Every structure is written in C-alpha cells, then in structure tokens.
Amino acid sequence: MGREMSEPTTDFEPRITAFVCNWCTYTGADLAGTSRMHMASNVRIIRLPCTGRIDALFVIKALEHGADGIIVSGCHPADCHYTAGNYHARRRFIVFRELMNFMGINPDRITFSWVSAGEGGKWRDVVNETVTRVRALGPFDAYHELAERPSPGSAVEIGVPIPEVPEPSRSTASEDASSPSAAGEDASPAPTSAGGES
Amino acid sequence: MTELQDLAHKLLDEGTVQVVIGWEDSRRGARPVTITDAEDASRLIFDSRCVHNLATYLNPRRSQVRALGKPAVVVKGCDTKAVAALLRESQFERDEVVLIGVRCGGVVKDPTSDGVLTEETTAPRCVACDVREPRLADYIVGEAQPEPPQNTSLDDMVAKLDAMTPDERLEFWTAQMEKCTRCYACRQACAICTCDRCVVDKTVPQWIERAPHARGNFSWHLIRALHHAGRCVECGECERACPAGIPLMLLNRKVQQIVAESFDFTATDDLDAVQPIGDFLADDHEDFIV
Amino acid sequence: MSANAFISNEQLAGLVAAVVASGTRVIAPVTADDGTATYSPINSLAEATLNGALPNPSLKAHFLPPTETLMSWRQHGSDIEIGSPPDSFAPQLVLGARPCDAAAMDIVDSVMNWDYKDELWNARRDATTVISLACPGIDDSCFCTAVGLGPDSSRGADVLLVAVDDGYLAEFATERGAAFLADNAQFFSAAADTAVAQADESRAAARSAVEANLNVDTKRIEQWVGDHFDDEFWLTLGPRCNGCGACAFVCPTCHCFDIADEQSGVGTGVRRRSWDTCQSNVFTVHASGHNPRGDQNARYRQRINHKFYIYPSKFGDVLCTGCGRCIRACPAGQDLVEILQTIDGKAANEQEGVA
C-alpha cells in the first residue's frame, strides 16, 4: 500500500515540511535513502534534536510560508534519546492537533509518526502516504493567503504585490539562480546558471 | 459598612496589607479599584456585576500594582482558580497576598448592565460552578448565594463548530481573524498571561507575524490558546476585553475540553494539582500517531 | 452656514445608485445581524443603516488601516526589485460619517503633514469626499461638545446632512462639498422653512443632550496637565489599567504605528505598518533595555498628556473628538469623562486659588 508511490493525477505537487528528531526518524530516513528505497520527493526535512523541541509555532510557520502538509516524527515512546522528550511532545501534539482542527486546519494534512532509526521502510511509507493524502486534498493556499485579506470596516487596498522576476537578459552573466517565490506569487523562475549562490 | 468594607478597613488600618484590590461602583457600573487608604474602604462593593477576574492584578507584570505594596484581593471562587494557577507557577508566594473570598451567586457578562441574572446575561463561566463558596481564601465574606441561571451558549457553539467540516470551520475562523487588530487586550486582561516578554513581542526571530492581517492573527490566537492549555481558568475576560467582539472563549473552551478529555485535568483551586502540560503519562493516548 | 438644500430619502437612494453606477466606491455605516456596525462599501442605500450603532473600527481605518504594505521587494542575484504602493487612490465617497469620526480625520491631518508628509494618508484623504450625518448623541459617554466639537459639527466633512421628515437637509462645508452638491444638483431641492426649523431644533437638542454629559474647559485642562507631570493623580489611574490597546485602537484620533518587515519567501518580503499603542509595555523600550515609561502609571499619563496637552500645544487641537469609544471599550472601567471632569475640577480650584 504505502510501498508504492502514487501517480499524480493533476499538476499539483504538494510541498511537505517534516520536523523530525535527529536520533530516530532522521536516521531512519537516512537508512531509507541508503537502502535506495523509492519514495516521493515532496518532503523537506528539518532536523531537530528531539520531538520535545517541536513547538506548534514550527508547524504554523511552515503553513504560513505555504506548506501544504506537515510530518512530525520521532522516537517511539520509551526510546527517546533524552528519555522523556517524546512524551512531552505527545502531550503537546494532542492539544495542538485538535485545536488546529477546531480552527479549520484539516488534520489530514498533518501526519504524526514514531519512526525509529531502523525503520527506513516505515519512513518511506509515511512519506508516500502523506504525499498521496495531501495531493488529494489540494494546495493549502488558504492559510498563506490569509495575509491578503483586509480587515472589515477598513481600507480595501492594503497590499503591494511582490515584484515579478524580471526577464533575464541572455547576454550577461548575471543570470543567477533566482530566489524561489512563495506559493501564490509569481512562480516562473529565471533560468539557473553555473556559478555560486549569491 | 458591609462585612467586606469592614475587613478591608481593618487590614489597611492595621498595616496587614498596603492595598486592597476589589470592585467599586462607578458612573458606568462595577469596575476594579485599588484602595490604599483605609478611609476609602467604603467604596468596595460586591454584586452580580463584578465579573472582572481580579487575580489579574496579582500578575507580576503589573509593576505599578506591585509598587503599592502587599495586596489583599477580593476573589470569587472562579478567580481563586487563577490565583492557584499563579501560585503553582511560582509567580508569587502564598504569604505575599491576602485572599478575601466572597460568596457568589453568579455574575453577568456586562459589568455596565443592571446585573440581573438570566440565562442570556449570566456569564458562561458560571455554568456548573463548584466554588460558589471559595476555598482558597484567608477570609470569606458575604451571604451564601443561590445557583445562578446556566448560560450554555458557549458549549453549544463549540459543539456546533465541532459538527462542521474543517473547511467550514476555517471559513468561520477566517472571518473572526479578519476582525482582530492585534490590540492584545486579550493578553493584557488575562490573569495567567505572565510572560515578561510575550512570544509575539520577540523579534529575533519573529515567530508570530505582528501585522494584524488574518494570517498573523490566526497564528497569534492559536498560539495563545495553546500556551493556556491546562492553565486557563475560563474566566472569559479575554473575550470581554476584545474590542472587536471575537468569540475567543470558543478557543479556550475547546482547549480546556481537550485537556479534560485527554489528561483528566480541569482548572482547580487545589495548590497541589499538577498542571498537565509539562507533565506526561506513559500511556497518554496516541491514536493519531502512526 | 445655513442649510438650504433638501434631499428626500428616495433621492438619496438615487444619488447613491448614481455614484455607485459611475464606478465610485460608496462607504457607509452597515449594521450586521448581531447589531454591530462597520463603515463598509455599499451598493445601494438600503444596505446602510444611518445613525444606527456606532461603527467599529472608526472611520480612521479607511485612511490608516490596521495594517498596510509600505513596500515589497524581491532580491535576485545582486539586484533588488521594489514594489511600491499607489500614490493616488480612486475617488470614493463616505456617506453618513459620524461627526466625531469626520472631525478626527481633520485633526489628525496636522500630524500627518508635520515633519513628514504621509503620502498614503494624504492620498486617501484626497480621494475621499465625506458626507457627515448630524448625530442625536449616543449615550452618556459621548462628550464631543466638551472638546470643541458637537453632534452636528461639520468639521472634517465636505457636506453635512441633518435628518428631517422624509429626508435630509444638506449644507456644504468645503469647496469640494459645494462642488459635490453642484454636480448632483438634480437630487436636491430647496429646503422648506419647516424643515430648516426642524433641523435647527434637533441639532440644538442633540447638543444639549451631549453637553449634559461633560462640560469642561480644555484650555485649563491643557494647562494643568502640562504643569502637573509629577502629580499623584496619575498614580490613581495606572493600577486599574490593563495596558492593552483597546482604547487606542478604537479611537478615531490615535494614529501611532509600528513598521515591521515580513519575509514572504527566500529573498522576497514586504514592509508593513500596523497600528501600535503607547499603552503597550514595549512601546518605548530602548535597544539597551531601558524603558522611560516603565509602568502603566507613566503610560496612562502619556495617553492623557498626548491628547490633552502635547497635541493641542503643537497643533491647536485636542487629540480627541469625544466619541466615547474608549470608555465603552475599556474592560477595566477607565472613564475619560470622569478623568477630564476630575482634572478640570483640579484646574478650576487652582485658578481660584483653592488648594
């Protein structure tokens, strides 16, 4: 089931941010990589020492910046490198998952998992299942675009759009890799060139 | 002079405390007052308009109240739960404050109204109150009061939201979050918002966007509700303070419901209770974790 | 200025329809199902509730919104592209502004054109025609007359309407207002003497109703506040105050803002200004950590100081229009009517040589 990557049915590829603990899940993800397991490439991993370090703010920040889905993963209970970090995290997850759901953030966009250092296959399954699920839900522009809404009873024109990436001039060497734009804004990047990052 | 006024007069006169924090009448109804002169003790009142949670004046960030000296504070039973939360979190020592508990028969949401208690006017916090006679107190004054009318509108609305789809709820909260102008009245009125430097005021890095657009406001209210898990006593002062009329108590009620269901904890005046966040059980439920 | 034009309810609806049809935005007080009101765009007069609930936010939010973008940027390579807000806005009409709200805009114009000309504020002001509606007074927290204004003041308005039977009397207060009436003359007719008499009577009645709430001498208040920076009186106001921004944010004349950059992506971002309040404990915090207004006594004193001493001594106007919103919004029961009464009393005693 989770072993197979699903075929995309639309052009939309979800962007998933994963907050994982260093000792278990990060190592497990590394194992999945070195074992050459096939998995969707939509996930960007942020490594933390422990799930106990995870603050709901991290998840919110990812959603603000346009993440469509989130994975939060760490050591199994009783296996935490710092003894009890994941127990504290579990309590916090219980509260913020339900509160986010109450405020309208679909819980199907967020996966919580325990993945140990030896569970490369489980990491692959978590990734593939999350990507499939979030792809079906569609993009989560709604959260990121909340910033565009004026407040009621006030001036309507309050925003200034981000300038578009200018057309590259092909004759110069200044065609550096352009910064990727945030979701919702202009999405056509300038062609990359050889040469260092600016 | 009433029992309360006599007691306040005595405490100030004898120098037991330097300030009595209570309620007084004013041009527009009941409001908090700090009495430093024994002769002013006759200004103190207590009636069903006294909805304000005076425990908030013990909050250490109110340096100008601290500067007045050792306080006695008039507290309803619900307010003592906030005092207990502050004591459990070591915001001050038990012997640094005198608690004057007042027997209560319910309060109205609007302190500027006539104070008549009905199912609509009574504050939602009075539902199923178990502390009409305060327990955490040095003195208890006033007559025993009957049970107030029960205003279940808050629980009803939470249930209504629970029954919606996530997208419907997002639409509801987006409309509410658009109204917020980030005045922080909710935070400032709150008895247990005690942080010297609130997370939203930290700019390096800026975790919560400061601009009062719906996205920043969403993040702010979500985090504030989360930071109150197991600490909020549901006094409703945040919602009463909000000049934009946002139903903040829906968030706080939901969080405390989650805490009650998952960790078997409700706001209490028990000084030995262990607050749920910061604690854990080996068998906390994890049905949502794969 | 004597009112000599009359517009019936039907004609007013027609005027609104014509303005809307011409593509100009019309903003009016709109009351929601829960009884609260905002100044919001309307498509027809029927959507508006004139002289209903006092709108919140005040009209200020249409000129200085709770948040607005000052610029945006995209960095690519060593170049930066900058996005700027417009330097002019499409014309719009405010219909049914409360006189306290309209006057507030005029008062704040001074500081917005002082050492720096605020382009966005001025551009929005230039784009907007304001039609005020004389107000009957709302409740015992109104005190516009005490600060030199009134429920029928035309300060800050281009046209003032006064409700009479079946319609409104209209008088222009500015050249722009006169031009507006001339351009839309087909909707107006001559006012009958009975209507004029009715209007005069209702205006006088509204003024006495508000005058009964507070009667003070703002000049001697200015003097007292300026002379008594260290008075013990300020210690009685700070303790009750929560230090929130409710009063400042509902106030039509408060205008402080903070500027912050937000990053929207890698190398892209926006700079916004957002409402701020001197009641916030971090409002005057220095980079060193020192805070010259370190407690609420000092901060609340600042509020009164700024509005009733500093601003009038700089610009000649009290920074308050007596709308009463701060009194109604304060969760802790701070009462500006009571505070002004108390200060006026102290100032009067000093004048008369009483201790």
What pLDDT, in 10s, does the model give residues B84-102?
A: 999 999 999 999 999 999 9
Q: Which helix (H) or strand (E) holds C328?
A: helix C325-329
Q: Alpha-carbon distance B28 to C347, whole Å? A: 24
Nearest-CB residue to C74 (from A66, A147, A163): A163
pLDDT at C306: 98
Please list the ranges in chain C whose pLDDT falls under 50.
1-2
Q: What average pLDDT score do residues B27-37 get?
A: 97
Query: pLDDT tens across B145-164, in order?
Result: 999 999 999 999 999 999 99
Determine which of B50, B58, B64 to mutate to test the interface with C (most C C-beta atoms within 10 Å): B64
* ipTM of this predicted structure: 0.95
Nearest-CB residue to C282 (from B188, B201, B245): B201
Nearest residue in chain B measured CA to CA from C297 = B64
Determine which of C39, C80, C264, C272 to mutate to test the interface with A (most A C-beta atoms within 10 Å): C264
- If asked whether residues B14 and B46 sit together in one domain, one would say yes
Query: pLDDT tens across A25-36, in order?
Result: 999 999 999 999
B203 forms beta bridges with B206
Residues 60-89 of C with CB under 8 A from B: 66-67
- Which residues, at least 6 apart from B120, have a Cβ–Cβ distance to it below 8 Å? B151, B153
- Which residues, at least 6 apart from B283, have a Cβ–Cβ distance to it below 8 Å? none
Is the Cβ pair B64, C297 closer than 8 Å? yes
Say yes or no to pLDDT of B284 above 80. yes
Q: Alpha-carbon distance C218 to C14, whole Å? A: 42
- If asked whether residues B159 and B129 sit together in one domain, one would say no
pLDDT at C2: 45
- If asked whether residues B207 and B119 sit together in one domain, one would say no
Contact (CB, 8 A) for A129 and A122: no
* Residues from chain C contacting residue B241 (CB–CB below 8 Å): 242, 244, 246, 331
Is the Cβ pair A158, C69 closer than 8 Å? yes
Structural domain includes residue B7? yes
pLDDT at A150: 86
Nearest-neighbour CA in chain B from A191: distance (Å): 32
Is the Cβ pair B213, A105 closer than 8 Å? no
Nearest-neighbour CA in chain B from C215: distance (Å): 16
* Residues from chain A contacting residue B251 (CB–CB below 8 Å): 99, 102-103
pLDDT at B279: 92
Residue B228 structure tokens: 């109150």
Structural domain includes residue B124? yes
Nearest residue in chain C measured CA to CA from A187 = C265
- If asked whether residues B31 and B160 sit together in one domain, one would say no
Say yes or no to pLDDT of A108 above 50. yes
* Residues from chain B contacting residue C239 (CB–CB below 8 Å): 34, 57, 62, 64-65, 68
User: What single DSSP character describes residue A25?
Assistant: I
Q: Alpha-carbon distance A1 to C96, whole Å? A: 64
Say yes or no to pLDDT of A194 above 50. no
pLDDT at C227: 97
Is the Cβ pair B179, A151 closer than 8 Å? yes
Positive or negative: CA dihedral C247, C250, C256, C262: positive
- If asked whether residues B98 and B196 sit together in one domain, one would say no
pLDDT at A168: 66
C242 touches chain B (CB under 8 A): yes
pLDDT at A184: 38
Nearest-CB residue to B167 (from A87, A104, A150): A104
pLDDT band at A197 (very low <50, low <70, confident <90, very high): very low
Structural domain includes residue B273? no
Is the Cβ pair B28, C327 closer than 8 Å? yes
Contact (CB, 8 A) for C205 and C333: no
The residue type at C171: E
* Tally of structural domains, chain B: 2
- If asked whether residues B104 and B195 sit together in one domain, one would say no
Structural domain includes residue B108? yes
pLDDT at A164: 86
A44 touches chain B (CB under 8 A): no
Contact (CB, 8 A) for C235 and C221: no
- If asked whether residues B170 and B122 sit together in one domain, one would say no
* Residues from chain C contacting residue B65 (CB–CB below 8 Å): 239
Is the Cβ pair A178, C77 closer than 8 Å? yes
**Mean per-residue pLDDT of chain B:** 96
User: What single DSSP character describes residue C173?
Assistant: -
DSSP helix/strand/coil, C180: helix
Q: Which helix (H) or strand (E) holds C147?
A: none
Nearest residue in chain C measured CA to CA from A162 = C72
Say yes or no to pLDDT of A18 above 60. yes
Nearest-CB residue to A106 (from B166, B208, B222): B166
Structural domain includes residue B285? no
Q: Which chains form contacts with chain A, at 3 or more CB pairs under 8 Å?
A: B, C
Is the Cβ pair A198, C78 closer than 8 Å? yes
* Strand A69-74 relative to strand C5-8, pairing: unpaired
- If asked whether residues B122 and B57 sit together in one domain, one would say yes
Is the Cβ pair C82, A163 closer than 8 Å? yes
Is the Cβ pair C280, B182 closer than 8 Å? no
Structural domain includes residue B135? yes
Q: Which chains form contacts with chain B, at 3 or more CB pairs under 8 Å?
A: A, C
Length of chain C equals 355
Is the Cβ pair C76, A185 closer than 8 Å? no
Q: Alpha-carbon distance C97 to C39, whole Å? A: 8
Q: Which helix (H) or strand (E) holds B19?
A: strand B19-26
Is the Cβ pair C265, A165 closer than 8 Å? no
Q: Is the peptide bond before C151 cis (omega within 30 degrees of 0)?
A: no
Closest by CA to A99, choosing from C160, C125, B227, is B227
Environment class of residue A7 by beta-carbon count within 10 Å: exposed (0-12), middle (13-18) or buried (19+)? exposed
- If asked whether residues B76 and B103 sit together in one domain, one would say yes
* Residues from chain B contacting residue C303 (CB–CB below 8 Å): none
pLDDT at C353: 81
> Range of B177's domain?
153-263
Q: Alpha-carbon distance A76 to A78, whole Å? A: 6
- If asked whether residues B125 and B34 sit together in one domain, one would say yes
Query: pLDDT tens across A154-190, in order?
Result: 999 898 999 987 766 655 444 444 444 443 344 333 3
* Strand C79-83 relative to strand C159-164, pairing: unpaired
- If asked whether residues B129 and B182 sit together in one domain, one would say no
Is the Cβ pair B174, A104 closer than 8 Å? yes
Would residue C111 be called left, alpha or beta, if left means φ above 0 and alpha means ψ between -120 and 50 degrees?
Answer: alpha
Structural domain includes residue B272? no
Structural domain includes residue B286? no
Query: pLDDT tens across B247-279, in order?
Result: 999 999 999 999 999 999 999 999 999 999 989
Closest by CA to B278, choosing from B89, B92, B93, is B89
- If asked whether residues B64 and B178 sit together in one domain, one would say no
